[in-house]
A and B are shown apart, each in its own frame.
Chain A
Amino acid sequence: MSGSTIHNASPSGDAEFRDVAQAHAPFRTGRLVLWLIIALIVVNFGWIVANNENFGWPVVAQYFFDPTVISGLYVSLGLTVIAMVLGVILGLLIAIARLSSDRLASSAASLFIWFFRGTPLLVQLIFWYNMSTLFPQLSLSIPFGPTLASWDTNSVITPMTAAIIGLALNEAAYMAEIIRGGLLSVDRGQSETAEAFGMTRARALRRIIIPQAMRSIVPPTGNQLISMIKATSLVSVIAMADLLYSVQSIYNRTFEIIPMLLVAVLWYLLITSILNVGQSYIEAYYGRSDRRNGAAAKPIAAATEEASH
C-alpha cells in the first residue's frame, strides 16, 4: 500500500532508490557490547544468589506451599478484595459528593479525604484495633436521645474488622480522588446533553459519564490494587494472620528469617505479576474505542463516497 502511494506521489525515477521499504538498520557495535555486559552482570548476580547458602533455597522450597503460608496468602488476598471493593464503592460516593454543588456534601467529602490521606495507614490500623480504649461501648442512638442498640466494642472490633475498616477507609480516600479525576476528564458537553435529554443526575452518571471516565480511572486503580496487596502486610501488626504474619510466625519458631521472607516476597511478586497482566487486558478493553479509529478507515471511505454523490 505504501509503495503504490509513493509511486503516485512522485513519478520521478529516483524515488525508487530512496524507497524506505528497502532501508536497513545499521549495525550498532556499542549497543551489542552494552547488552553483553548487562547480561554478564545479571547472570553473575543470579549465580551468587542461587549459590549463597544463607538464602536457604531448600527451605524456601519446603515452606512455599506450607498450609500456614497458604492460609496467610488467602487472608491477604481476601482482605485485598474486600477492602478494594468497599474502597471503590465508598470512593465513588465520596467523589460524587466532592463534585456536587451541595456545600455540605462536598466539604464532608473533602474532610474525609484530608483526614485519611493525611495520616499513615499503619497508625489508622492501630487506632481501629484499639477502638475499645477510646469507646468501650458502641451504640446506635438518636443524638442526645434514647439509645436504640449497644455493643461491646471488643466484640465488634476483631483484628479482621479493624483490618477491613482501616484498609477500606484509607483506600476510599485515594479512590475518591482517582474517580473524581476520571469524572472530570469527561467532556462537559456530555453531562449537559444528558441533562438536556431529561436524564436524572444518577442516570447520567451511570449511563453516560462513568463509562467514559473508566479509561482514565482503570490504570491508577490497577496501581492502587497492587499497592493494596502490599499494604495488607501492615495488618500483621494487629495480629491478623496474613501472608507476612504467617511467615513471621514460622521463622519465630525456626529462626530461618531470610528464607521465610523470601517465601513471602515470591508470593507477593507472583500475585502482582498476575495482576499486571489482568490490568493490561482491562486497559485494552476500555481503550478499544481508539482502535476503532483503525477500523473506521473503511466506513469513512464509504462516507466520502456517499457525500460526493
Chain B
Amino acid sequence: MTAPVIQKPLVRARKVHKAFDKLEVLKGIDLDIMPGEVVVVLGPSGSGKSTFLRCINHLEAINGGYIEVDGEQIGYRLRNDRLEKLSDNAIARQRRKIGMVFQQFNLYPHMTVLQNIIEAPVGVHGESRSDAVANAKRLLERVGLSEKADAYPRQLSGGQQQRVAIARALAIKPKLMLFDEPTSALDPELVGEVLATMRDLSKQGLTMIVVTHEISFAREAADRVVFMDGGKIVEMGKPEDVIGNPQHPRTQAFLSRFL
C-alpha cells in the first residue's frame, strides 16, 4: 500500500493539550495521519485514548494546541489573523466528514436498523430517501446483516448491533472513521465478527483511527501503532516494531500482559 509521494496528512494534531478542571489528560499529542492509513492506538486505561479520539471530532474542546482534519482546523477558524471559535452549526458541519463508532454502540433504540442508518444521510447530508435506503441496504449486506433491516436494536445481539453501528457511520461516506474500543462491550465469541468487518474496511483504503485492546487486530490490520501513556505518545511505529520489539519500558510492561 504505497501512497503517492506528495500527499497531505488527513489528520494533523499538534501539541494537543486537554484538561478536565485540574486533571491534565492530554499533555501534548503530536500525530499526523495520512489518507488511507489505519492507526491503532494502544495504552493502559486512563491514558487519554478516548479523550484524544473525542477531541478529533470536537466532542471535547481542547485547551491548547491544534487539530486539523482534511485541511480544516477543528472548532476554530482564522479571521483577520485572529483565531475565533466556530459556531455550533459550523462545528456540526465539520463533523459530517467524520464517522464514529462507540464502545456502547449507541444505536437509536426507537428506530429500526434501516432508520438508524439513513437518519444522518437524509436528515443531515440532504441525501434523497431512496438513495439513502439503497446505500443502507448495500452497507447492511457488507456487514452481513441484510435480513435485519427492519429489526429494532434491542432485537439484535451485541455483535450485530455494533456492525449496524459501523454501517451507520459508513453511511455518511466519512473521510475518517474513529473507533473507540468497538469490541470492549462484547461477549468474547462476538468480538470476531466485528473485527472481521473492521479488517475488511481497513483493506479498502478507509482512514481509520482505532482505540482497542485487541493486539491481534493491531498486528494484522494496522499500518501504524501508537502507544499512549499518561496523556503522551510514548512510542509509535510499524506494528511489528512496536508490538514485536517495544523499546519503551511502559510499552514493554503493557504488552507483557498480553503474552
Structural contact, B106 and A189, CB atoms closer than 8 A: yes
Distance from B166 Cβ to chain A, minimum over Cβ atoms (Å): 13
CB distance from A82 to the nearest CB of B (A): 30
Residues in chain A near residue B193, CB distance under 8 A: 307
With A289-B109, A293-B154 as contacts: A207 and B123 at CB distance below 8 Å? yes
B residues whose Cβ falls under 8 Å from a Cβ of A: 57, 59, 88-89, 92-96, 98, 100, 102, 104, 106, 108-110, 119-120, 123-124, 148, 151-152, 154-157, 159-160, 172, 189-190, 193
A200 touches B92 (CB 8 A): yes
The A interface is mostly helix, strand or loop, or mixed, namely helix
Output the nearest chain B residue to A304 by Cβ-Cβ distance: B157
Contact (A303, B172) CB under 8 Å given A189-B102, A189-B106, A289-B152? no
A117→B1 CA distance, assembly (Å): 67
In the complex, are the beta carbons of B88 and A292 less than 8 A apart? no
Q: Is the CB of B123 within 8 A of A203?
A: yes
Within 8 A of B (CB), among A179-231: 187, 189-190, 192-193, 195-201, 203, 207-208, 211-212
Q: How far is the CB of A295 from chain B (nearest CB, A)?
A: 7
User: Which A residue sits closest to B165, measured CB to CB?
Assistant: A193
A296 at the interface (CB under 8 A from B): yes
Bound together, the chains give a CA A136 to CA B124 distance in angstroms of 50
Pairwise interchain contact A307-B157, C-beta atoms closer than 8 A? yes
Q: Evaluate contact between A299 and B95: CB separation under 8 angstroms.
A: no
Cβ distance A38 to chain B, nearest Cβ, rounded Å: 43
Q: Which of B102, B152, B160 contacts A292 (CB 8 A)?
A: B152
Q: Are B124 and A198 in contact (CB under 8 A)?
A: yes
The chain B residue sitting closest to A295, CB to CB, is B155
Q: Name the one of A196, A212, A293 contacting B110, with C-beta atoms under 8 angstroms.
A: A212
- Whether A299 touches B155, Cβ cut-off 8 Å, given contacts A196-B100, A197-B120, is yes
Known A-B contacts A200-B92, A211-B110, A212-B109; the reply to A292 vs B124 at CB < 8 A is no
Task: List the A residue with the shortest CB-CB distance to B104.
Answer: A189
Interface status of A300 (Cβ within 8 A of chain B): yes
- Name which residue of chain B comes closest to A303, CB basis: B157
Q: How far is the CA of A195 from the CA of B92 in the complex (A)?
A: 7
A211, A295, A303: most-surrounded residue (chain B CB, <10 A):
A303
11 A-B residue pairs with CB within 8 Å: A193-B106, A196-B98, A199-B123, A200-B89, A207-B123, A208-B108, A212-B109, A292-B152, A292-B155, A307-B159, A307-B189
Are B59 and A196 within 8 A (Cβ)?
yes
* Complex interface residues of chain A between 36 and 73 (CB less than 8 A to chain B): none
Are A289 and B154 neighbours in the complex by a CB distance under 8 Å? yes
B155→A197 contact, CB < 8 A: no
Shortest Cβ distance from residue A304 to the other chain B in the assembled complex, whole angstroms = 8
Tell me how far the C-beta of A211 lies from the nearest C-beta in chain B, rounded to whole angstroms: 5
User: How many contacting A-B pairs (Cβ < 8 A)?
Assistant: 81
The chain A residue with its CB closest to the CB of B187 is A307
Given A203-B123, A299-B151, A307-B193, 6 other A-B residues pairs in contact with their CB atoms under 8 A: A193-B106, A195-B92, A197-B124, A201-B88, A303-B160, A307-B157
- A197-B172, A203-B124, A307-B189 known; A292 vs B96 contact (CB < 8 Å): no
Q: Please name all residues of chain B whose beta carbon is closer than 8 Å to the beta carbon of A198 when the two chains form the complex.
A: 92-96, 120, 124, 172
Closest chain-B Cβ to A128's Cβ sits at a distance in Å of 37
CB atoms of B152 and A207 under 8 A apart: no
Tell me, in angstroms, the Cα distance from A193 to B168 when the chains sit together: 11
CA distance A304 to B193 in the complex (A): 13
Interface residues of A in 240-263 (CB under 8 A from B): none
CA distance A190 to B93 in the complex (A): 19
- Contact assessment for B110 and A192 in the assembled complex, using a CB-CB cutoff below 8 Å: no
- What is the CA–CA distance of A295 and B154 in the complex, to the nearest angstrom? 10
Chain B's nearest CB lies how many Å from the CB of A6? 27
Q: How far is the CA of A289 from the CA of B112 in the complex (A)?
A: 11
The CB with the most chain B CB atoms within 10 A, among A190, A198, A289, A304, is that of A198
Q: Chain A residues near B159 (CB, 8 Å)?
A: 307
A273-303 contacts to B (CB < 8 Å): 289, 292-293, 295-296, 299-300, 303
Chain B neighbourhood of A207, CB < 8 A: 119, 123
A199:B92 contact, CB within 8 angstroms: yes
Shortest C-beta distance, B25 to chain A (Å), equals 17
B96 proximity list for chain A (CB < 8 A): 197-198
Across-interface contacts of B189 in A (CB, < 8 A): 307
The docked-state distance in angstroms from the alpha carbon of A190 to that of B116 is: 12
Closest A residue to B169 by CB, please name it: A197
Closest to B94 in A: A198
User: Given the complex of chains A and B, what is the CA–CA distance between A199 and B91 in angstroms?
Assistant: 10
Given the complex of chains A and B, what is the CA–CA distance between A201 and B95 in angstroms? Answer: 13
Complex-state Cα separation, A307 to B102, whole angstroms: 22
Query: A300 near B124 (CB under 8 angstroms)?
Result: no
The 4 closest A-B pairs by CB, nearest first: A198-B96, A296-B155, A198-B95, A193-B106
A303 partner, pick from B89, B106, B120, B156, beta carbons under 8 A:
B156
Indicate whether A307 sits within 8 Å of B190 (C-beta atoms), given known contacts A203-B124, A296-B155. Answer: yes
Residues of A within 8 A of B102 (CB): 189, 192-193
Check B57–A196 contact: CB distance below 8 A: yes
> In whole angstroms, how far apart are the Cα atoms of A273 and B94 in the complex?
52
In the assembled complex, the CB of A231 is this many whole angstroms from the nearest CB of chain B, namely 33
- Neighbouring B residues of A189 by C-beta, 8 Å: 102, 104, 106
